[in-house]
Structure 1
Amino acid sequence: MSGEAPAARRGHDEDVEDPVAYFLEDMAYHGKSERTREAYGRVLRDFEAFLTEFDAAPADADRRDCLAWVHELRGDHAESTVATYASYLNRFYGYMTQVGAFDGNPMALVMQEMDEAIDTDPARREVSVERMREFVAGVTHPLERAVVVTLLKTGLRVGELCNLDVRDLALDAPAVESAYDVGTRAQLDGKPDTLFVDPDVSRGAVTNGEERTASNKRKRATLVPIDGELKRALVAWLAIRPDAPSPAEPLFVSTRDAWGKRLTPEMVRSVVRRHAEDAGWYREGGDAAENVTPHYFRHFFTTHLRDRTGDRGVVKYLRGDVADDIIDTYTHNWGDRVREVYSEHIYSLT
């Protein structure tokens, strides 16, 4: 076998289908341990998932995308951990550039900036709760309002929201319970006014009788409380929800050209973009740190709920990105801890 890397032998015109898998495979060829490869894999897949919220991929990410990801890491990790994760991404880009699979390394300058403490906090738009209330007040269509309020009050990723089925919603509302088979998941027994987020939903796989077009980006099941505000938005939406042709009974379906079909991430991004443009929060050509998108709502949820509770564990549980020990603690103590903290501190949007 030639010592030249496979990507270089194929030539740059033929793209690597899965750059992360390719890089990890080459790490194995270079004798890196399984533990090291798993650590890199977790970080690189997290970065990849971050980019999907903006319809981007590692091969076309730029410096600002990388910097926004580093900024998000700072909300959940110590600086030493952030530096380690950043170095993983830098090595990934450096290697993929060297073998000819990528055009350049957008992390090179980010690493220099981090080392020199220059621009470590990207100019992500910061929206107060008061201003977000004004934004939500302008979203009047029941579907769009339910989608926006759900994103803002749960921290769900856009794909996770689109994958919700009626069975994933336990709602203590007689009008809804008489019209829909809500909350039929075993995990929702005895947990009214709760959303269940299933980690076992992936793009291209059939779940609940329907092939999915988006993946859920969490490894553990999550139970997310529904407060009175979100409950009212969901009840108003379900009162007009069209019948769906899918046997999965999607929770959110289109009321436009794709009448009755499950919302896609692209549809949700379009809705949020339209309202964000009206509010002056979205600019054509703006980057991930400037424009308000569904992913920004996840940032808003994380920032404001964490600041109000001072409890990173609960927020990380609700986001679906925590370690096993925290998951076990809060899942077993659901009624007494997570819901209590959430209900006491969740912000009002009306």
Structure 2
Amino acid sequence: MSLSDQFTEEEILDADTDTSADPLDIKSKAIKTFIDEKESGGRQRRFVETQESRLREFEAFVYWIDQAHVCMVDDSHVVEFNDWLKHGDRYLTMTGGRSSGSGTKEINLSDVTRHEILTTLVDFYNYLANSKGVVSENPAALAMRGFPDDEFDLSPPDRPRIEMDEMKEFLDSLDTPLQRAVILTLLKTGVRIGELLNIDLRCVHLGDGEGNTHPVYQDILDTYDVRLKSEVRNKPDSIFIYKKFNKGTEIEGEVRGCGNKRKDDDGSVIPVDDELKTALLEYLLTRNPPLTHYKRGTAIPLFTKPYNHGALDRLTYHSIHSEFGTQSSGEDGPLAEFGWYEQGADTEDNVFMHYFRHYFTDNMKHNHGVYRGWMPTGVIAYIRGDVDKSATVGSERRDSTARENTYSHSDWRNWKINVEAPYLNNIYKFGVYNQTAPRQAPEPIPNNR
């Protein structure tokens, strides 16, 4: 039973409102209505579930202290809730933390997580006030404006520092070619999870070391009647990442289940080193073949679900989580088994898929991380797809300036010298394979660079 069921229709209707429309239906199901809107907008399932759990905790809190409905609160309730999150000893609902008994869990939140919870309340009450008009003001926003400047320490969390040897040990522990290919792709390129899931065979060009397509990969392309995209056709050993698009966008006849956040207007071409190439070839030789529901010549996905009952289905956020975190069978995936991931632990305490994007960035910066090699900041920004490469020098956006201070706009077109060479000369190697597929040497970098 929802806590909203504890209130009569008259009490709900008497709650603060500034609309002449009958708001009973919205008010009685305020959290559900908000969450349904998020889901219909294509937000990631785990994100939506996290938001709902935070709102249910607040709902339980205001009912516990004041028998108040979520549409009856003011900013003092949010202030008290923040104090509860900071100093309380348990949750009122099963919304996170470590179990300390039936029906409750211990509270042990970082300032970042506490700020995220209150920001969810701001979003929720903005929705009720501005989209639905069933409350006249945003109590969470009022409370947040009243907090002192030092209320939240929002400096980047101290994520686990992983040495190169430990990362190699983790890679050696992976059981399947899919796991190795996915993790190495994330480690070597820093792409976002959605970008990885949207990669198609036509976006990947694996070479033979002599400027041509690798014969094994050519056979795979021919089997599916796939023609390489122009962005990689003349660039052996490269991956093209699509430009930004939203969930639900149709590409080559397929409606995509997740969007791309890449900020380059034309997408990005990322080099592939010999270690990643070997992992991709190994994976492609062992994955399940597509069935007839994938038409020949369409955008065949690169990464597919490991257990698909004979159908070639694109890997999804859910299947990524199931494969690497806590599997549907209840068994631990490789990240949990290795001790890097625990269901329900704070984000900063876990190593999960997005962590590898941070790992790439940190270790490729000069005098950062645990690796000696480094790339110019602008090259890192290009590969990560952080900003539009047409940004001008002097821009207030740090990464934009970094890219244009690395090369001029026209220089970015010389991909082999200005992207591929600095990348291949510096990307870390883990020694996963005793022997790797051959790769062409990068173009020499001119002395004036």
SS at structure 1 position matched to 2:381? helix
Determine whether 1:268 maps to 2:320: yes
Alignment-derived partner of residue 185 in structure 1: 229
Alignment-derived partner of residue 263 in structure 2: 219
User: Quick one: which of 289, 296, 309 aligns to 2:348?
Assistant: 289
Determine whether 1:313 maps to 2:378: yes
Residues 111, 152 of structure 2: 8 Å contact kept = no
Query: How many angstroms does 1:242 deviate by?
Result: 2.0
Alignment-derived partner of residue 302 in structure 2: 251
Choose 139-148 or 94-103, whichever is displaced more: 94-103
Choose 258-267 or 88-97, whichever is displaced more: 88-97
Alignment-derived partner of residue 55 in structure 1: 47
Residues 53, 295 of structure 1: 8 Å contact kept = no
Distance 1:124 1:278 in 2: 19
Instruction: Report the residue type matching 1:311 in the other structure.
Output: P
Distance 1:111 1:298 in 2: 35
Residues 149, 230 of structure 1: 8 Å contact kept = yes
1:189-200 superposed matches below 5 A: 189-199=233-243
User: Quick one: which of 139, 145, 150 aligns to 2:185?
Assistant: 150
**Which ranges of structure 2 fall in alignment gaps of 5 or more residues?**
1-16, 55-84, 86-108, 208-213, 326-332, 392-399, 404-408, 432-449
Query: How many angstroms does 1:66 deviate by?
Result: 8.5
Residues 90, 111 of structure 1: 8 Å contact kept = no
SS at structure 1 position matched to 2:170? helix
Choose 58-67 or 236-245, whichever is displaced more: 58-67
Query: How many angstroms does 1:349 deviate by?
Result: 2.2
Instruction: Report the residue type matching 1:177 in the other structure.
Output: Q
Taking only aligned residues, the RMSD between alpha carbons, in angstroms, comes to 4.2
Q: Taking CA–CA contacts closer than 8 Å with sequence separation of 6 or more, which of the two structures ends up with the larger relative contact order? A: 1
**Which ranges of structure 1 fall in alignment gaps of 5 or more residues?**
23-47, 72-87
SS at structure 2 position matched to 1:195? strand
Deviations 1:89-141 (A, max 9, x none): 99767755877789985997799686368463423222222211111111131
Distance 1:223 1:170 in 2: 10
Distance 1:103 1:257 in 2: 46
Instruction: Report the residue type matching 2:284 in the other structure.
Output: L
SS at structure 1 position matched to 2:347? coil
Q: Whose radius of gyration is greater, 1 or 2?
A: 2
Determine whether 1:337 maps to 2:422: no
1:1-350 superposed matches below 5 A: 10-11=26-27, 13-14=29-30, 15-16=33-34, 52=44, 55-56=47-48, 59-60=51-52, 67=112, 95=126, 105=140, 115=150, 118=153, 120-172=155-207, 173-181=214-222, 184-199=228-243, 201-220=245-264, 221-245=267-291, 246-247=294-295, 248-259=299-310, 260-273=312-325, 274-306=333-365, 307=368, 308-309=373-374, 311-323=376-388, 324-325=390-391, 326=400, 328=409, 331-350=412-431
SS at structure 2 position matched to 1:11? helix
Residues 194, 225 of structure 1: 8 Å contact kept = yes
| Counterparts in 2 of 1:251 and 1:118: CA distance versus 1, 3 Å | closer
| Counterparts in 2 of 1:195 and 1:104: CA distance versus 1, 3 Å | farther
Query: How many angstroms does 1:142 deviate by?
Result: 1.1
SS at structure 2 position matched to 1:115? coil
Residues 268, 382 of structure 2: 8 Å contact kept = yes
Q: How many residues align?
A: 307
Distance 2:386 2:275 in 1: 25
| Counterparts in 2 of 1:66 and 1:192: CA distance versus 1, 3 Å | farther
Distance 1:69 1:339 in 2: 42
Deviations 1:4-50 (A, max 9, x none): 5999884372434667xx9xxxxxxxxxxxxxxxxxxxxxxxxx98x
Deviations 1:126-160 (A, max 9, x none): 22222111111111311121111111111122221
Residues 199, 302 of structure 2: 8 Å contact kept = yes
Deviations 1:208-248 (A, max 9, x none): 22222111112320111101110010111111222223232
SS at structure 2 position matched to 1:159? helix
Aligned-pair identity (%) = 28
SS at structure 2 position matched to 1:289? helix
Instruction: Report the residue type matching 1:169 in the other structure.
Output: V
| Counterparts in 2 of 1:118 and 1:202: CA distance versus 1, 3 Å | closer
Instruction: Report the residue type matching 2:27 in the other structure.
Output: G
Higher relative helix content: 1
| Counterparts in 2 of 1:337 and 1:59: CA distance versus 1, 3 Å | same
TM-score, structure 2 as length reference: 0.57
Alignment-derived partner of residue 79 in structure 2: none
Residues 126, 138 of structure 2: 8 Å contact kept = no
Distance 2:302 2:45 in 1: 20
Deviations 1:321-344 (A, max 9, x none): 213325745642322112122112
Choose 53-62 or 325-334, whichever is displaced more: 53-62
TM-score, structure 1 as length reference: 0.72
Residues 157, 298 of structure 1: 8 Å contact kept = yes
